[in-house]
Amino acid sequence: MADRIVLHVDMDSFFAACEERERQELKGKPVVVCVYSGRGNAGGAVSTANYEARELGVHSGMPIAIAKRTCPDGVFLPVNHELYSRISDEIMSILRSHTTALEQVSVDEAFLDITTKTKDFGEAGKVALATKTEIRERLGLTCSIGIGPNKLIAKMASDIEKPDGLMVVEPQRVKDFLVPLKPRKLWGVGEKTAEKLAEMGIRSIGELAVQDEGLLRRVFGEAKGRWLKQTSRGIDNEPVAERGEPEQVGRMMTLSEDTRDRENILEALNPLIDDVYRRLTERGDYFRTITITAVTSDLKSHTRSRTIETPTRSLDVMKQLVDELTSSFLKENKGMLLRRAGVRVSKLTKKGGQKTISDF
Ligand code: TTP
Ligand code: MG
């Protein structure tokens, strides 16, 4: 019987997998998702690469120019955060249905504490398999799951059998799991700490775990020294903390060309408003403040907001207000061209008032 059972779910090559899912013709090809620094075609860095491109040597953070040399036949795509965040919402809602405590860590990873559901690691493995199957069948994506008695072990376990992995580390196996791994593999140990440990002749987590804590404190400072001693022995008491829901919901996009044409801008904003509306409805939220963001061609960011008396989530009201804010921004900023535009709502509540534009 375990005290706690924690799952860590991490999507495989997430941004690239989302792109592959949208375009079947990418299947089997090396796909590289990039953050382009400007509108040139080789400035910037690789955000992520699918496993085909990784095998050829492409990895996150690599300059795009080098990635293109390393993988000339790769399909290079710009990041599409709207898509990833929409899919991320769907993933999180599937995960939420499998647990009572969910902590979303980033767009593609989350911890689940399923202790109230089962105290048996075999059963936990079945929950993980069911979760993987549901994500694959409903979203067409694979993920890797690690299971352990705490967040530390779950997080480290999810990484071992990537992609499409599942690794269960029962409490009595924690020591065997950690001992042979390199110190750099310990969650929270960065490059600098790893270098210092190497200088001290510590080559594995097992060797770190038997170090004198006083020595570690002298070298790394009180808090870090204690932390190194504890974590290397697999001890981690951090709870899976349900994060509060975000206090605003919004979307941004880059316009296909710099413009100050109101019709063009509103046409580009419409799908973003639809998306914000969909997310509000899913959350059961109403808003009081709506804000447009305009990034002009000099890369300066401007915002315009309106706050209304009674909370609403009417699509008509949203579109009407965005139109008004956009028009007044354009009027006040003659000669400025918009490069990016976005819309977000805030001051969210669970209770609504006005429903339609005519009530408004
Ligand atoms: P990761 O989970 O670190 O990476 P991944 O999902 O692409 O691949 P895997 O988990 O299978 O190893 O990050 C999630 C997403 O975050 C990733 O798809 C793209 C983005 N990201 C960056 O933009 N820059 C980075 O340096 C990293 C590491 C990730
Ligand atoms: Mg991932």
Mean pLDDT of the chain: 93
Q: What is the rounded CA–CA span in Å between residue 289 and residue 92? A: 26
Tell me if 47 CB under 6 Å of ligand 1.
Answer: yes
Count CB neighbours of 79 within 10 A.
Answer: 16
Interval 305-310 mean pLDDT: 93
Query: Does the pLDDT of residue 39 top 70, yes or no?
Result: no
| Interval between CA 10 and ligand 2 midpoint (Å) | 5
Task: Return the pLDDT at 159.
Answer: 96
Q: What is the rounded CA–CA span in Å between residue 122 and residue 151? A: 18
Nearest to 287 by CA among 268, 306, 261: 306
Task: Return the pLDDT at 344.
Answer: 96
Task: Return the pLDDT at 322.
Answer: 98
Tell me if 329 CB under 6 Å of ligand 1.
Answer: no
Q: What is the rounded CA–CA span in Å between residue 326 and residue 49? A: 37
Interval 11-32 mean pLDDT: 96
Interval 280-305 mean pLDDT: 91
Kindly name the residue from 109, 213, 257, 332 that is annotated as catalytic.
109
Tell me if 59 CB under 6 Å of ligand 1.
Answer: no
338 φ, ψ (degrees, to nearest 5): -90, 135
Structure token pair of residue 152: 């530390």
Count CB neighbours of 137 within 10 A.
Answer: 8
Whether omega for the bond prior to residue 63 falls within 30 degrees of 0, making it cis, is no
Interval 228-244 mean pLDDT: 91
pLDDT band at 118 (very low <50, low <70, confident <90, very high): very high
Task: Return the pLDDT at 2.
Answer: 60
Under 8 Å CB-to-CB from 128, ≥6 apart: which residues? 7, 145, 147, 166, 168
Angle at CA of residue 37, ends 36 and 43, nearest 5°: 75
Angle at CA of residue 342, ends 246 and 263, nearest 5°: 150
Q: What is the rounded CA–CA span in Å between residue 93 and residue 251? A: 19
Interval 279-294 mean pLDDT: 91
pLDDT band at 242 (very low <50, low <70, confident <90, very high): confident
| Interval between CA 108 and ligand 1 midpoint (Å) | 8
Query: Does the pLDDT of residue 114 top 90, yes or no?
Result: yes
CA distance to 1, 64, 136, 297, per residue, from 146 (Å): 18, 31, 17, 45
* Active-site residue, 109 included: yes
Task: Return the pLDDT at 245.
Answer: 66
Cα 88 off chain centre by: 7
Q: What residues have their beta carbon closer than 5 A to ion ligand 2?
A: 10-11, 14, 108
pLDDT band at 282 (very low <50, low <70, confident <90, very high): confident
Ligand 1, atom 5, lies closest to the CA of: 13
Least confident stretch, 153-167, 172-186, 291-305, 318-332: 291-305
Q: Which residue has the higher pLDDT, 262 or 85?
A: 262
DSSP H or E run through 255: strand 249-259
DSSP H or E run through 126: helix 121-139
How many Cα atoms are found within 13 Å in the side-chain-facing hemisphere of 34?
A: 27
| Interval between CA 17 and ligand 2 midpoint (Å) | 10
Q: Is 253 helix (H, G, I), strand (E, B) or coil?
A: strand
Task: Return the pLDDT at 1.
Answer: 47
Ligand 1, atom 3, lies closest to the CA of: 13
